[in-house]
A = this chain, B = another copy of it.
Amino acid sequence: MPPRAPSDAIDLGPLGKRIGYRLRRAHMAVLDQGDEAFASLGLRTQQYGILLFLNHAPGHKQMEVGIALGIQRSNLVKMIDELEGLDLARRSEAPNDARAYILHLTRKGRTLLRRAKILDAELDRRFDRKLGRGGCKKLLELLTKLAALD
């Protein structure tokens, strides 16, 4: 997949100072850097996020996972299909609800996740270097405030 981060070559004017645009660019850059970091495991950043969540909270229904992660149903279905194809996660019928699936990691998924976490820790150190002392903590704090309901 080509890098998602947009180019700086064109003067953006007032758009470049908007928080929404800067959030988008920073998010794209983080996704790109994650994709690069996880490439040796054949994993993409967003797949890593799903594995991380399923490991922490197995047995949720697919719909609940979509809501928690803020991923639209159709996109999540595709992503879970991919993870199943790689034998990293699996769906099983929800108890008492044959129309719903619950999601789990496979043994292979748990093993891969352990290796991915090591790469993720390296990624965090890279962000720390970029943002300077206390920068990551401050950024997380501001992002959480921004996402909070009024």
Does A20 lie within 8 Å of B45, measured CB to CB?
Answer: yes
A42 interface residue per 8 A CB criterion: no
**Total count of chain A residues near the partner, CB < 8 A:** 60
Identical copies in the complex: 2
Interface string of A7-24 (1 = CB under 8 A from B): 101111111011111111
Interface 9-residue window, one of A52-60, A77-85, A94-102, A104-112: A52-60
User: Which positions 119-150 of chain A face chain B at CB distance < 8 Å?
Assistant: 120, 124, 126-127, 130-132, 135-136, 138-140, 142-148, 150
Assembly CA distance A119 to B148 (angstroms): 20
List of 3 A-B pairs having minimum Cβ-Cβ separation, nearest first? A6-B70, A13-B56, A23-B27
